[in-house]
């Protein structure tokens, strides 16, 4: 369940609420009965290190693009032999 932050437009108090996506947003401040507005917070999700993209996808994709197949490399070596 996500945590939402709300700020009261009257007293300025910031509150956090654990809510389901389907729950209606909070509208009134419990402190002063003022109107609440939903805040957009920074995400707490961080990717650290080299990351999954680099190790799982980009490496494999780059390898398949940069490395020649056995068939290609053998045909190139035959070409070079005939040119000599």
Determine the Cα–Cα distance for residues 48 and 23; give it in Å rounded to an integer. Answer: 32
Pair 55, 30 in one domain: no
Q: What is the pLDDT of residue 40?
A: 87
Range of the domain at 31: 3-39
Q: Choose between 52 and 5: higher pLDDT.
A: 5
Q: Choose between 57 and 32: higher pLDDT.
A: 32
Pair 8, 33 in one domain: yes
Residue 7 maps to a domain: yes
Determine the Cα–Cα distance for residues 37 and 60; give it in Å rounded to an integer. Answer: 46
Residue 44 maps to a domain: no
Residue 46 maps to a domain: no
Residue 73 maps to a domain: yes
pTM for the complete prediction?
Answer: 0.49
Determine the Cα–Cα distance for residues 65 and 59; give it in Å rounded to an integer. Answer: 10
Helix residue ranges, H only, 1-84 = 51-52, 59-66, 70-83
Tens-place pLDDT, residues 50-77: 656 655 555 555 455 555 555 555 556 5
Task: Give me 17's structure tokens.
Answer: 């609420």
Is pLDDT of 38 > 90? yes
Cα dihedral 48/53/56/58 (nearest 10): -140
How many domains does the chain divide into? 2
Pair 12, 35 in one domain: yes
Q: Choose between 24 and 84: higher pLDDT.
A: 24
């Amino acid at each position: 369940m996500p945590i939402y932050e709300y700020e009261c437009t009257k007293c300025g108090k910031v509150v956090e609420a654990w809510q389901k996506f389907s729950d209606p947003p909070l509208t009134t401040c419990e402190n002063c009965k003022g109107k609440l507005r939903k805040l957009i917070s920074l995400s707490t999700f961080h990717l650290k290190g080299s990351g999954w993209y680099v190790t799982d996808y980009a490496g494999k994709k780059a390898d398949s693009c940069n490395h020649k197949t056995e068939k290609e490399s053998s045909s190139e070596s035959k070409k070079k032999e005939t040119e000599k």
